[in-house]
A and B are shown apart, each in its own frame.
Chain A
Amino acid sequence: MNRREAIASMAILAGGMWLMKSCSSDTKSASIILENYKMTKDLEDVLSQITKTILPLEGHEPDEIKNLHLFVMKMLDDCHRKEEQLIFTEGLVELEKGEWNKRAKPFTIASQQERTEMIALLNDMEDNKIKKCYEIIKRRTIQGYNNSAYLMKEKGTYELVPGRYNGYTNV
Chain B
Amino acid sequence: MKVNDNIFDAIVIGSGISGGWAAKELTERGLKTLVLERGRDVKHVKDYPTTNKYPFEFEHRLEVPLKLREENPIVSKCYAFNEDAEHFFVKDKEHPYKQEKPFDWIRGYQVGGKSLLWARQTQRWSDFDFEGPLRDGFAVDWPIRYSDLAPWYDHVEKFVGIAGNRDGISSLPDGIFQPAFPLNAVEDHFKEALQHHYTDRYVISARCAHLSKPEPIHMEQGRVKCQHRTLCQRGCPFGGYFSSNAVTLPWAEKTGNLTLRPFSVVSSILYDEETQKAKGVRIVDTNTKESFEYYAKVIFVNASTINTNLILLNSTSDRFPNGLGNDSGVLGQYVAFHNYSTRVYADYDGDLNAYKTDGRNPAGGGYIPRFRNLYKQETDFLRGYATGFSASRSTYQDTSSTGAALRDSLLNPKLGHWWVGAQMMGETIPKKEHGVFLDQTEKDAWGVPLVNISVGYDENDDKMSKDFIAQFSEMYEKAGFHNIHSSRDDQPPGLDIHEMGGVRMGRDPKTSMLNEWNQLHACKNVFVTDGASMTSTSTQNPSLTYMALTARAVDFAILALKKGDI
Q: Does B184 contact A (CB under 8 A)?
A: yes
Q: A161 and B227: CB pair below 8 A?
A: yes
Stretch at the interface among B55-63, B296-304, B424-432, B520-528: B55-63
Number of contacts between A and B (CB, 8 Å)? 122
Q: Does B290 contact A (CB under 8 A)?
A: no
Interface size class of A (residues with CB under 8 A): 35 or more
Output the nearest chain A residue to B58 by Cβ-Cβ distance.
Answer: A147
Residues on B with beta carbons closer than 8 Å to the beta carbon of A163 = 227-228, 359
How many residues of chain B get a CB closer than 8 Å to chain A's CBs? 46
Stretch at the interface among B72-80, B168-176, B261-269, B403-411: B403-411
The answer, among B227, B354, B403, B406, for a CB contact under 8 Å with A171, is: B354
Q: Does B488 contact A (CB under 8 A)?
A: no
Q: B56 and A152: CB pair below 8 A?
A: yes
Stretch at the interface among A3-11, A17-25, A100-108, A115-123: A115-123
What 1/0 flags go to B324-344 for Cβ under 8 Å of A? 000000000000000000000
Q: B361 and A148: CB pair below 8 A?
A: no
Q: B56 and A147: CB pair below 8 A?
A: yes
Bound complex: CA A113 to CA B496 (Å)? 53
Q: Does A153 contact B (CB under 8 A)?
A: yes
Q: B56 and A145: CB pair below 8 A?
A: no
Bound complex: CA A101 to CA B187 (Å)? 52
Q: A169 and B357: CB pair below 8 A?
A: yes
A52 to chain B minimum Cβ distance, whole angstroms, is 10
Q: Which residues of A line the B interface, CB within 8 A?
A: 36, 53-56, 58, 64, 74-75, 78-81, 116, 119-120, 123, 138, 142-149, 151-153, 155, 157-171
Bound complex: CA A161 to CA B230 (Å)? 9
B391 to chain A minimum Cβ distance, whole angstroms, is 8
Q: A153 and B54: CB pair below 8 A?
A: yes
Q: A167 and B61: CB pair below 8 A?
A: no
Q: Does B65 contact A (CB under 8 A)?
A: yes
Q: A169 and B356: CB pair below 8 A?
A: yes
> Could you list 30 examples of A-B contacts with CB < 8 Å?
A54-B402, A55-B402, A55-B410, A64-B56, A75-B63, A78-B60, A78-B67, A79-B60, A116-B403, A119-B402, A119-B403, A146-B397, A147-B56, A147-B61, A152-B54, A159-B359, A160-B54, A160-B229, A160-B231, A161-B229, A164-B228, A165-B182, A165-B357, A165-B358, A165-B361, A168-B184, A168-B185, A168-B355, A170-B354, A171-B415
A171 to chain B minimum Cβ distance, whole angstroms, is 5
Interface of B is mostly: loop
Output the nearest chain B residue to A163 by Cβ-Cβ distance.
Answer: B227
Residues on B with beta carbons closer than 8 Å to the beta carbon of A169 = 355-358
Bound complex: CA A78 to CA B67 (Å)? 7
The answer, among B54, B65, B360, B403, for a CB contact under 8 Å with A162, is: B360
B51 to chain A minimum Cβ distance, whole angstroms, is 10
Q: B65 and A79: CB pair below 8 A?
A: yes
Residues on B with beta carbons closer than 8 Å to the beta carbon of A146 = 397, 410
The answer, among B353, B355, B403, for a CB contact under 8 Å with A54, is: B403
Q: Does B3 contact A (CB under 8 A)?
A: no
Q: Does B181 contact A (CB under 8 A)?
A: yes
Residues on B with beta carbons closer than 8 Å to the beta carbon of A36 = 67
Q: Does B249 contact A (CB under 8 A)?
A: no
A127 to chain B minimum Cβ distance, whole angstroms, is 16
Nearest first, the 10 A-B pairs at minimum CB distance are A167-B184, A165-B359, A164-B359, A169-B358, A162-B359, A147-B61, A78-B65, A166-B358, A162-B228, A165-B361
